[in-house]
Structure 1
Amino acid sequence: MALRLGLGLPQTGTYDLSTDVTAAARAAEELGYDSVWVLERVMRPEQPLDDMYLIPGQPWAQYFSSVADPLVTLSLAAAVTERVTLGSAVLIGPLHQPFLLARALGSLDAASGGRVVAGFGTGWSRDEFAAANVDYKSRGAALDELLDVCAAVWGENPAAYEGKRTRFTPSDIGPKPVAGRIPVLLAGSNDKALRRLVRRADGWVPSGGGGAEQVAAGRARIAELAAEEGRDPAELSTTLRAFLDITDKSLDNRRPFQGSVEQIVEDLADTAKAGADEVLLDTQLLCRDVQELIERARALRETATEAGV
């Protein structure tokens, strides 16, 4: 099966959200991309409690200052497309009220004709959890509850659930997802996160700069955990989010997904061999405007096709 390619939608303050999201979504579909994707960041504190991604000494990225709401962004994309999958990589699950998020995703899936893929993560920023009035230390349990609530809300009526954050008595709840449920991807790379993925999800959505090596290592561990849990690892997809740094000329010393378009396509081929089913190409952080984003998307798609990726 050929590697699927996704495109990150322009959500940051660099872009005009009234026009650029729809322009990029239309272009992605016209260029033959398989999917469009959003991320979630809610703030950029001036005196953060944690370094970015919990990496010691790592300052918070400037783009955190303005990131459009992910479901609003996906709704804009859904309205102007007919084919592409609409994915989140990722929603910070514990920041959301579970029932309302599950219902919103169900509505979006129904409105888009069944095109939603829900990627969730536990989050890492104590500032974001404080802003949402959510207990940071219980974020794993909160994600588990969200998964339970999604299953209940998307399932057959009457639906009911009783948990720590969410309680509802037997009720009719709709709209329902077109296929009866929405595929769920989970982020994370430690054993606890990967075991949750094997038990409860449809796939893995890693993010980072590791490229093919990261995918290969993660897939190997997922296979081991799947064997322990009695699940076929082939049932679990892998969608890698790759933040691109495209240069005019080829680079000798580079990280994965940095360099010329041709070098990045080589990285795509290597990532596919390592076990990735889909790669989300995100260029928004280093593009001047949506026109540049679309032109880079075009070059990447055309070069990948010529290379047989």
Structure 2
Amino acid sequence: MATRLGLSLPQMRQYSIGKDVPDVARTAEQIGYDSLWVFERALFPEPATQGLYGVEGLPWPDQYRSVADPLITLTLAAAATERARLGSSVLVAPLHQPFQLAKALASLDAASGGRVLAGFGTGWSVDEYAAAGIRPIEERGQVLDEIIGVCRAVWGPDPVVYDGSITKIASAVVGPKPARPIPILLAAMNKKAQRRLVDHADGWLPVGMGAEQVAAQWQALQELAEERGRKEPIQTVLRVNTIRLPKAYDGADRQPFQGNVDQIVEDLAAHAQIGLEEILLDLQGTARDAQELKDVAAEVFEKARAAGV
């Protein structure tokens, strides 16, 4: 079976969100993409208090200066499409109030006819945590655990009851319910996060850092699942952050998914061999506008399918 392909929606400042999100979403669905995706970047600290991903001295990319809210972006896409699944890779879940997040995702799933994939991560920006004001960054793991618990409770049968450190629901009717159980997918980079995934989530959201590396991570995750007695299969969606260039990149230091469309497709084919169910392509960063994004998305899709992806 061919690997499912997804496309990231335009959230950055070169796009007109209200016009371009529905336009790109509709076009992507027509091209044949199976899913549409958003990510979350809440703010851009200036001056920077920490490097990108918390790595000292690593600058934040300029494109993070303005990133549209993920749930608003998905809602715009939901209204413009009929079949494409609607996912987040990732939503920095602990920046959100758990009950409100669970309710918003349930409403979006009900409105879209059961198309939502809730992809959560814990993030790394101290500034985003301070601005969100839910809990300090040191408590991000516990907050994510609570969010998963609250989502399962709110999306499940009434009366909803939940007693957590942030959320207290004595006994309540909470609607609308999702059209079907919403899959929860986690980024899960370290061992503790992988245990959380195996025990409490439906799927995994790795990042395409190189086919061998991803294959090794996938193998380790499957072994952990077996060790912990997990019976359900783990859903998989690989996120690919492309650095698309007009010409082929010919340096020995080429990163995965850096280069022209042919090189990106070559890397895509290598990663598809791992056997993950779905690959989502983020092509928005290097596109000048929505028209270029649509053109590149069409070219990548066509060449990927021609290459057997």
**TM (normalized to structure 2)?**
0.96
- Give the structure 1 partner of residue 216 of structure 2: 217
- What's the offset of the Cα at 1:240? 1.4
- Any stretches of 5+ residues in structure 2 without a counterpart? none
- Give the structure 1 partner of residue 11 of structure 2: 11
- Give the structure 2 partner of residue 87 of structure 1: 87
Describe the SS at the equivalent of 1:285: coil
Q: For the residues of structure 1 that align with 2:233 and 2:286, how far apart are their CA atoms?
A: 35
Q: Does 1:241 align with 2:214?
A: no
- Give the structure 2 partner of residue 228 of structure 1: 227
Q: For the residues of structure 1 that align with 2:276 and 2:268, how far apart are their CA atoms?
A: 9
Q: For the residues of structure 2 that align with 1:211 and 1:79, how far apart are their CA atoms?
A: 35
- What's the offset of the Cα at 1:214? 2.9
The answer on whether the counterparts of 1:219 and 1:275 sit within 8 Å (CA) in structure 2 is no
Q: Does 1:168 align with 2:166?
A: no
- What's the offset of the Cα at 1:263? 2.1
- Any stretches of 5+ residues in structure 1 without a counterpart? none
Q: For the residues of structure 2 that align with 1:121 and 1:224, how far apart are their CA atoms?
A: 22
1:53-96 C-alpha deviation (Å, 9 max, x unpaired): 02221011212211111000000000010010000001111110
Q: For the residues of structure 1 that align with 2:213 and 2:16, how far apart are their CA atoms?
A: 34
Instruction: State the identity %.
Output: 55
The Cα RMSD (Å) is 1.3
Letter of the aligned partner of 1:146 in structure 2? I
Q: For the residues of structure 1 that align with 2:188 and 2:62, how far apart are their CA atoms?
A: 23
The answer on whether the counterparts of 2:50 and 2:57 sit within 8 Å (CA) in structure 1 is no
Letter of the aligned partner of 1:228 in structure 2? E
Letter of the aligned partner of 2:171 in structure 1? P
- Give the structure 2 partner of residue 128 of structure 1: 128
Describe the SS at the equivalent of 1:275: coil
Describe the SS at the equivalent of 1:169: strand
The answer on whether the counterparts of 1:238 and 1:275 sit within 8 Å (CA) in structure 2 is no
- What's the offset of the Cα at 1:47? 2.6
The answer on whether the counterparts of 1:102 and 1:150 sit within 8 Å (CA) in structure 2 is yes
- What's the offset of the Cα at 1:167? 0.4
The answer on whether the counterparts of 2:15 and 2:290 sit within 8 Å (CA) in structure 1 is yes
- Give the structure 1 partner of residue 269 of structure 2: 269
Q: Aligned ranges for residues 75-224 of structure 1 at < 5 Å? A: 75-133=75-133, 134-179=135-180, 181-207=181-207, 210-224=209-223
Letter of the aligned partner of 1:262 in structure 2? D
Describe the SS at the equivalent of 1:18: helix
- Between stretches 80-89 and 132-141, larger displacement belongs to 132-141
Q: Does 1:65 align with 2:58?
A: no
- Between stretches 75-84 and 268-277, larger displacement belongs to 268-277
Q: For the residues of structure 2 that align with 1:295 and 1:220, how far apart are their CA atoms?
A: 35
- Give the structure 2 partner of residue 251 of structure 1: 249
The answer on whether the counterparts of 2:18 and 2:76 sit within 8 Å (CA) in structure 1 is no
Corresponding residue pairs, total: 306
1:228-286 C-alpha deviation (Å, 9 max, x unpaired): 21014x71122111111223333333211122322222212211212322111111111
1:157-198 C-alpha deviation (Å, 9 max, x unpaired): 11110100000111111111111x200100131101111111
Letter of the aligned partner of 1:138 in structure 2? E
The answer on whether the counterparts of 1:48 and 1:127 sit within 8 Å (CA) in structure 2 is no
